């Protein structure tokens, strides 16, 4: 598998995570009518956007710098990256099952996180297109 496919797999992973998180966050945001939740959501979106720009740039460079022409599908990310994903998924599942977790939590955090992930996915798609 070539580098173009590694970019594509990265974009798919980030897109899928964005889809799942936005699927939970946007309905919560739409049902929440507090102005402070919307402001907090925008701030969280900006923070995650900046963070995922840095992370996606790091992984785009990682793929670009891989020596050779053929790669295993899991090489688009480091072991540390996979561990972070596992931790974040576990944290999200646990938070989703805590009784009494306020909907404002999901309304403010999840749309910002999902938007940041989507931004990262688009950066991977852009890197893939540049290889054409």
pLDDT band at 28 (very low <50, low <70, confident <90, very high): confident
DSSP string, the chain: --HHHHHHHHHHHHHHHHHHHHHHHHHHHHH---HHHHHHHHHHHHHHHHHHHHHHHHHHHHHHH--SS---GGGGS-HHHHHHHHHHHHHHHHHHTSTT--HHHHHHHHHHHHHHHHHHHHHHHHHHHHT-
Q: What is the pLDDT of residues 6-16, one digit of tens each?
A: 999 999 999 99
For the entire predicted model, the pTM comes to 0.87
Mean pLDDT score, 108-127: 94
């Amino acid at each position: 598998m070539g580098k173009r496919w590694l970019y594509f797999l990265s974009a798919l992973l980030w897109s899928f995570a964005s889809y799942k998180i936005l699927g939970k966050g946007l309905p919560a945001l739409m049902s929440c009518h507090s102005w402070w939740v919307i402001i907090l959501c925008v701030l969280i979106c900006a923070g995650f956007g900046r963070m995922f720009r840095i992370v996606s740039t790091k992984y785009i460079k990682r793929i670009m710098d891989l020596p050779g022409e053929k790669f295993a599908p899991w090489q688009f990310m480091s072991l540390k990256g996979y561990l972070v994903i596992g931790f974040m998924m576990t944290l999200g599942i646990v938070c989703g099952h805590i009784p009494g977790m306020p909907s404002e939590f999901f309304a403010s955090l999840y749309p910002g996180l999902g938007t940041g992930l989507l931004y990262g996915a688009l950066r991977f798609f852009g890197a893939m297109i540049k290889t054409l």
